[in-house]
A and B are shown apart, each in its own frame.
Chain A
Amino acid sequence: AQTVTQSQPEMSVQEAETVTLSCTYDTSENNYYLFWYKQPPSRQMILVIRQEAYKQQNATENRFSVNFQKAAKSFSLKISDSQLGDTAMYFCAFPRIGGATNKLIFGTGTLLAVQP
């Protein structure tokens, strides 16, 4: 079964500091994408970053970067220079393969609070 696990329900970080959110997944596929989504208090789901499994280089988007460990099936999100606007729920997502299309399945989320 393809699953996504986020083991940190809540985290807190001081403004300007760095924080890492963890995600592990389980799949027998070899080629796939992984995603991090952000859900601020407005509840709009916003794509933060994506990683292609066949690429060894970790993806980076401005202050957001991932540490992708394919063998360990680990996909963590690092937020550098945290800002108050980063306060949100963060979800790791993974496409479940099979059927007519691939369907994103989500972890249970990590609530990140950036403290001033």
Chain B
Amino acid sequence: SQTIHQWPATLVQPVGSPLSLECTVEGTSNPNLYWYRQAAGRGLQLLFYSVGIGQISSEVPQNLSASRPQDRQFILSSKKLLLSDSGFYLCAWSMGQGFSEAFFGQGTRLTVV
């Protein structure tokens, strides 16, 4: 069966520090991968998605970047965090280009102080 792992679960970082959140998927190959952000009490905003190694598409301009160095690994990064980067970050995967549902990791709660 497929599983998705996301870490760390909680992170407190000072303003201006770098960020690296990692997500890996097991039990499948060539998944579509996604990073979402959820502000407190709000819906999910799609940040990045990837259909293959090295292929990253950004949905919104921001202080963050994403990379996919391996087929089942997706990384969310920042060189210098802003206060506005605080939030709950969710990694997700889906299959193919069709109408597949997405399966989510457990999320990372990021607080920038």
Q: Which residues in A have some Cβ–Cβ distance to B below 8 Å?
A: 31-33, 35, 42-47, 50, 52, 91, 93, 95, 99-109, 111
Contact = CB atoms under 8 A, between A and B. Distances in A.
A102 B102 CA distance: 10
B53 interface: no
B101 A47 contact: yes
Nearest to A52: B99
Given A100-B55, A100-B97, A108-B42, A47 B107 contact: no
Contact of B99 (A46, A95, A100): A95
**Residue of B44, B55, B96 with highest tally of chain A CB at under 10 A:** B44
B44 A91 contact: yes
A39 to B, nearest CB: 8
Nearest to A31: B99
**Residue of A47, A95, A101 with highest tally of chain B CB at under 10 A:** A101
Interface of B, secondary structure class, is strand
B27 interface: no
Nearest to A42: B106
B44 to A, nearest CB: 4
B90 A45 contact: yes
Nearest to B46: A103
Interface residues of B, number: 29
A40 to B, nearest CB: 12
B107 to A, nearest CB: 5
A74 to B, nearest CB: 18
B73 to A, nearest CB: 18
Contacts of B38: 43
A81 to B, nearest CB: 25
Give me the 7 closest cross-chain CB pairs, A-B, nearest first.
Answer: A45-B104, A33-B99, A108-B43, A106-B44, A100-B51, A106-B43, A101-B32
A44 B99 contact: no
A47 B97 CA distance: 19
Nearest to A50: B101
Contacts of A102: 94, 97-100
A47 B100 CA distance: 12
